[in-house]
Amino acid sequence: MRKIIVFNHVSLDGYFVGENGDSSFAHKNSDDPEFTKWQANNAGNDAAFLFGRVTYQLMAGFWPTPQAKQQAPEIADAMNKRQKLVVSNTLDKADWNNTKLLKGGLVQEIKKIKSESGPDILIFGSGTVISQLAQEKMIDTYMLVMNPVVLGKGRTMFEGLKQPQDFKLTDTRAFKNGKVLLNFEAS
């Protein structure tokens, strides 16, 4: 069975995007060589990506560009080669290389895909997707990069969650740029 893994940056006050959907806080202090190397190695696994429409459009608008290839060649290569699943009720097509558009109900589609053989499924951004899958307890692992910033307002990944969920901390790693990786597994 495939695992579903969330990888997101969060602020100290728990937001993965600011008030207007801005995630630029996640890119501050990213010039730390250790952090850059960790990100490139993390991008090197073979997981498929799962995006909601908004995150998909942001990613598809950047990673296939020459600018992305110049700024982060290993990450751009992984983003462009790997399988991508995009959940949307409004998109008619998904043109980014190796992308499958999922138009059915999110939970049913992902239950089916999760039960198939294949690589794990990695979710970036995509708060609406995360909150729906978290509600169904379908997410196996959360890899959260805690950023040393307070946003004051924004969105959490768990909006609409109806009941508390417990997790087990499995790993931590602090970087010199102040970012801290927190890995949690569903318990």
Domain hosting residue 80, numbered range = 4-186
Q: What is the pLDDT of residue 37?
A: 80
Q: What is the pLDDT of residue 43?
A: 54
Q: How many domains does the chain have?
A: 1
For residue 39, pLDDT over 80 is answered with: no
Burial class of residue 153, CB neighbours in 10 A (0-12, 13-18, 19+): exposed
Q: What confidence tier does 33 reach under pLDDT thresholds 50, 70, 90?
A: confident
Averaged confidence pLDDT in the chain: 90
Q: Which amino acid is at 139?
A: I
pTM summary value: 0.90
- CATH number, domain of 34, equals 3.40.430.10
